[in-house]
Amino acid sequence: MPSRSGEQGRVGERWSWGWPGQGPWRWSWRGRGRVPAGLAVLVACLLVFHGAVPDVPGRPGSLLETFLPWLGLAVPVLAAPALLRRSAVAGCAVLLPAAAWLGLFGGFLLPGDDRAPDLLAVQHNVSDENPDPAGTARALAGTGADLIALEELTPTALPAYAAVLAPRYPHHAVEGTVGLWSKHPLAQVRPVDIRPSGVGEGWNRGLRATARTPHGEVAVYVAHLPSVRLGPAHGFGSVRRDESARLLGAAIAAEPAGPLILLGDLNATVDDRGLDPVASRLDPPGPDFAFSWPASLPLARIDQVMTRSASVTRVRSLPATGSDHLPVAARIRWPGSR
Q: Is the pTM of this model over 0.85?
A: yes
Output the pLDDT for position 296: 96
Query: Domain 119-333 classified CATH 3.10.440.10?
Result: no
Beta bridge partners of 223: 206, 264
Query: H/E/C letters for each residue in 133-197?
Result: HHHHHHHHHCCCCCEEEEECCCCCCHHHHHHHHCCCCCEEEEECCEEEEECCCEEEEEECCCCCC
Give the number of other Cβ atoms within 10 Å of residue 243's Cβ: 20
Asked if pLDDT for residue 216 goes beyond 90, the answer is yes
Return the higher-pLDDT residue of 10 and 132: 132
Smallest CA-to-CA distance from 184 within 151, 217, 138 is with: 217
Listed by start position, the domains of the chain span 31-109, 119-333
**pLDDT class for 90, splitting at 50, 70, 90?**
confident
Q: How high does pLDDT run on average in the chain? A: 90
Output the pLDDT for position 110: 85
Residues 111-140 have pLDDT tens digits of 877 788 999 999 999 999 999 999 999 999
Question: Residues 6 or more apart from 51 whose CB is under 8 A from it?
Answer: 61, 273
Smallest CA-to-CA distance from 284 within 149, 142, 108, 40 is with: 108
Average pLDDT rounded to a whole number, residues 200-214:
95
Question: Residues 6 or more apart from 322 whose CB is under 8 A from it?
Answer: 126, 127, 130, 131, 132, 133, 135, 136
Q: Calculate what percentage of the chain has a pLDDT beyond 70.
A: 89
Residues 94-109 have pLDDT tens digits of 999 999 999 999 999 8
